Structure formats: structure tokens, C-alpha cells
Amino acid sequence: MIYTIPYILLISLFFFLGIFYETTENRKTRQNIAIATILVFFVFFGFRGFILSDWTSYYSYFYDCDISYITNYKIGSAKYWEPAYTALNILCRAIFPDWQFLVFTCSLINTTLLLLFFRKRINNIPLALMLFVSFEGLGIMTNLMRNSIAILLFMNSLRFIKERKPIPYYAICLIAFGFHSSSILYFPLYFFFHRKLNKWVYLGVFIVCNIVFITKISIFLSIAKLIGIDQIFASRVEAYTEFYSKSTVISIGYLERLLTGGLIFCYYEKLHSIRKENTIFINAMVAYFILFFFFSEFEVLSKRMATLFSFGYWIIWYDLIHCFSIDNNRRLFKGFIYIYCVLKMVGMCHYADYDYDNVLFGAKSYQERLYLYNKNFQEQ
């Protein structure tokens, strides 16, 4: 429980600053609240120590990579990562050869891209950042150093889908691809993400996703058998899915996705009337559901793939607040969101990997944190 305290304090601060932001009419006060929120957000992530797990790979890569890692890069390579990310590592090391400088730089890039995305879409920055941290943003900012930049770059290309401008859209997608090859999923979206799904088609897709998840249909093993390559891949797929077949279907995370999908259906037209761009964000949620539920037999893969479209959560949940016409209902819904975000932090951040520290206030060294990480990993 002690590991969750910094994260609960962070989202609680954002929530109450967000409430204060909405209750004050003073423009200067609102501006100061937004600035204070952004500073807290950046200090929390930009000066963090070694938290979660992916730093165990990124740390050594920072000190090992050189130009040859760019020239030898191949898609899917385990050793040579994407050229843009590698170039960023080399540049940071040339300016200041310390891991924390890379963390600072990536956090600065991510914070800037996130604020650019929110700038013309969301007025209440504290509330937006609370939603961001609670719905995948914590992992994006800490664990996914390559993916994070790629995801946030793509998010800033969404307006070009709406404006039907393919050149800037694909230019940004190519840069994102340079940071993480999973961005290739973004390339075909230009042709259909701007199209509004029929409400009942949306519901049908959502129901199918839930049926696949609840009945634990092994999509990939079935496909392997269908096309006659099951003998090659079946043993591997079965090994990966063994834990999944024994796992519990009903969980807080599942209920969250069920509630989100249901609320989108109930307020489908209202969401479109609040924000015309919600056609794109609802489509993003559809992509999120499909990737999460259809890939659910591979737990890590499903979460990583679905995270590419988690930005839909931040906008849709923010807009759901405004779907209630009565002020008291809005306040109650905000209270519900806050309580759920706290519970989400409690459920997610109680592991030792989440033990937060900050270099400004004293953080454990790499060697000490690696020892604790290996010890906890062996115990688990």
C-alpha cells in the first residue's frame, strides 16, 4: 500500500486543482493553476528515479548505442532499436552523458507533445492530466520511453485526419515510426478514422469483443489451425496462452472497459454533438477494444497494442462529464471518476516496481535499484 501513496497524492492534487480551476472565474488564477499543474507533472516524471521495469533495458542501451546501431537497424531487431530513438540517445549522451538527462529530455518532449494535444481540446488541464495518469499515462510516461514519443506524436497528427491533409499526417507518422515500429498501425488510419460509425455497428463490434474475451476464444491458435501452420506455432501459442486460460475474466479492468463502452453507446450522439472530433476518438476507443480483447490471450501484447489508442480514454471520459445537463449530476460523476482513479492507483501501484523516488529529493542508485528489482522478480 505504501508504494501507492505518491501516485494517489498526484492524482488527488490534480483533481482538487481541477475543481478549483472550474469554480474560479479569475482568468489569472486559472492560468496559475494550469502552470502549477504542469510544473508538478513535469517534476514528478522528469526527475523520477528507476521505477517500473523497462529502465533495466533502456539504461544499458543509453550507454552502449552508437551510430552503428542506426545503420544496422532492422524492424523487429532486439538489439538495434529504432533510429530516431537511438539518435536521441546519442545526442543526449553527447550533451550530458548521464541517464537522468535522457529521462529529463524524454519527459520534456512528452509533456510538450501532450500539452499541444490538449491545448485546443481541453480547457481544464489539471483534470485532463488526472485522466491521463490514471488511464495508461503512468505507464506511458515511465515504462514506454520509445512508444511514448511515438504515441504522442501521432496524437498531434489527428487534426490532419480531420482536415484531410495526408502529407503532414504521414510526415508525423514517419517520425513516430522512427521512435517505435508499432506506429505502422497508424498508417492506414487516415482512410477511415474520420468516418462516423453507425451507433449499432459500434455496439455490435463491442459485443463481439466482449464475447471473444469472456469465452476465451483462442483467435491466433484457431487461425494457425485454419491455415495449416498449427504444428509450427501451436506449441508456442499454447504456452503463452496457458496462463490466460486459467485467469479470471471478471476484474476491475474489465468492468472499467465494459462501463466505458456502455457509456459511449448510451451517449453516442451526445458525444458527437459536444465535439465533432469525437468521431476520431470513438474510433480510437473501438481500436482500443479490438486490440485489447482480441489479443487478450497474450496479456502483455494486448496491453501494449491497446495503449497505442488509449488517448481516446482521456478525451471521451472528459467529455462524458459534459454529457450531463444537470450540474449536480456532473459533480457526482466527477466524484465517481476521482474515486475510481484512486482505486485504480491502489490496485495498480502496490507492487515494489512502483516504489517512487525523485532525484531532486534523493533517489536510489542504478545498482541498488537493480538489486531490488532482481530480488523482487525472483520472489514473484
148 and 202 co-located in one domain: no
Both 171 and 213 in one domain: the answer is: no
Q: Are the C-beta atoms of residues 214 and 249 closer than 8 Å to each other?
A: yes
What pLDDT, on the 0 to 100 scale, is given for residue 296? 77
- List CB contacts of 42: < 8 A, sequence separation 6 or more: 107, 108, 111
Instruction: Indicate the average pLDDT of the chain.
Output: 88
| Residue 30 pLDDT greater than 90, yes or no | yes
Pairwise CA distance, residues 21 & 280, whole Å: 28
| Distances in whole angstroms, Cα of residue 154 to Cα of each of 40, 110, 113, 144, 307 | 25, 12, 10, 15, 13
Give one DSSP letter per residue of 288-299, joined into a string: HHHHHHHTTTSH
Report whether pLDDT(186) > 50: yes
pLDDT greater at residue 176 or residue 372: 176
Note whether residue 155 is domain-resident: yes
For residue range 141-164, what is the model confidence (pLDDT) as tens digits?
Answer: 999 999 999 999 999 999 999 999
Number of Cβ within a 10 Å radius of residue 120: 9
How many Cβ atoms from other residues are within 10 Å of residue 171's Cβ?
13
Look at 168-172, 347-351, 371-375 and tell me which has the smallest mean pLDDT. 371-375
Q: Which domain holds residue 83?
A: 1-184+325-380
Could you tell me if residue 282 is left (phi over 0), alpha (psi between -120 and 50 degrees) or otherwise beta? Answer: alpha
Which residue shows C-alpha cell 496559475? 32
Query: Quick one: pLDDT band at residue 131, thresholds 50, 70, 90?
Result: very high
- In a shared domain, residues 209 and 263: yes
Q: What percent of the chain has pLDDT over 70?
A: 90
Examine the domain organization and report whether 136 and 285 are in the same domain: no
**pLDDT band at 297; cut points 50, 70, 90:** confident
Task: Identify the three-state secondary structure at position 54.
Answer: coil
For residue 233, pLDDT beyond 60: no
359 with 274, same domain? Answer: no
- Cα angle value 111/84/140 (rounded, 5°): 35
Type of residue found at 102: L
Q: Categorise residue 175: left if φ over 0, alpha if ψ from -120 to 50, beta otherwise.
A: alpha
Q: C-alpha cell of 269?
A: 450522439
If you average pLDDT over residues 16-36, what whole number do you get?
93
Residue 39, pLDDT > 60, answer yes
- Residue 279, in any domain of the structure: yes
Which residues are paired to 358 by β-bridges?
A: 48, 362
Same domain, yes or no: 120 and 204:
no
In a domain, 165, yes or no: yes
Place of cell 459536444: 274
Average confidence (pLDDT) over 275-293: 93
Tell me the three cell numbers of residue 188: 492506414
Q: How far is residue 11's CA from residue 43's CA, in Å, rounded to a whole number?
A: 14
Model pLDDT, residue 77: 78
In tens, the pLDDT along 75-124 reads 877 788 999 999 999 999 999 999 999 999 999 999 999 999 999 899 99
Q: Within a domain: residue 314?
A: no
Q: What is the DSSP letter of 123?
A: S
Q: Distance from CA of residue 196 to its chain's centroid?
A: 24
Asked whether the beta carbons of 257 and 136 are under 8 A apart, the reply is no
Is 318 a member of any domain?
no
Q: According to the model, what pLDDT value does residue 243 have? A: 45
Same domain for 304 and 329? Answer: no
Same domain, 93 and 210: no
Pair (179, 249) in one structural domain: no
Domain end point (choices 285, 309, 333): 309
pLDDT at 67: 93
Tell me what pLDDT residue 239 has.
47
On whether residue 47 sits in a domain, the answer given is yes
**pLDDT above 90: percentage of residues in the chain:** 64
Q: What is the mean pLDDT of residues 244-254?
A: 64
Mark whether 130 and 12 lie in a shared domain: yes
Q: Does 283 lie in the same domain as 212?
A: yes
Looking at residue 227, what is its pLDDT?
58
290, 302 contact by CB (below 8 A) = no
> How many independent structural domains does the chain possess?
2
- The answer to whether 62 and 372 are in contact (CB under 8 A) is no
Note whether 91 and 54 are same-domain residues. yes
CA-to-CA distance for 317 and 314, rounded, in angstroms? 6
362 class by beta-carbon count within 10 Å (0-12 exposed, 13-18 middle, 19+ buried): exposed
* Rounded-to-integer distance, Cα 374 and Cα 140, Å: 22
Smallest Cα–Cα separation from 166: which of 147, 181, 174, 266? 174
How far apart, in whole angstroms, are the C-alpha atoms of residue 119 and residue 245? 43
Grid cell in block for residue 283: 474510433
> What is the C-alpha to C-alpha distance for residues 263 and 258, in angstroms, rounded to an integer?
9
Which of the four pLDDT bands, split at 50, 70 and 90, describes residue 225? low
**Res. 222 pLDDT band, cuts 50 70 90:** low
Q: How confident is the model at residue 219 (pLDDT cuts 50, 70, 90)?
A: low
d(CA 148, CA 118): 16
pLDDT higher than 80, residue 267: yes
Q: Is residue 315 part of a domain?
A: no
Task: Tell how far CA 341 is from the center of its chain.
Answer: 15
Domain-embedded: residue 190: no
Q: How far apart are CA 306 and CA 322, in angstroms?
A: 26
Instruction: Specify the length of the chain in residues.
Output: 380
pLDDT band at 221 (very low <50, low <70, confident <90, very high): low
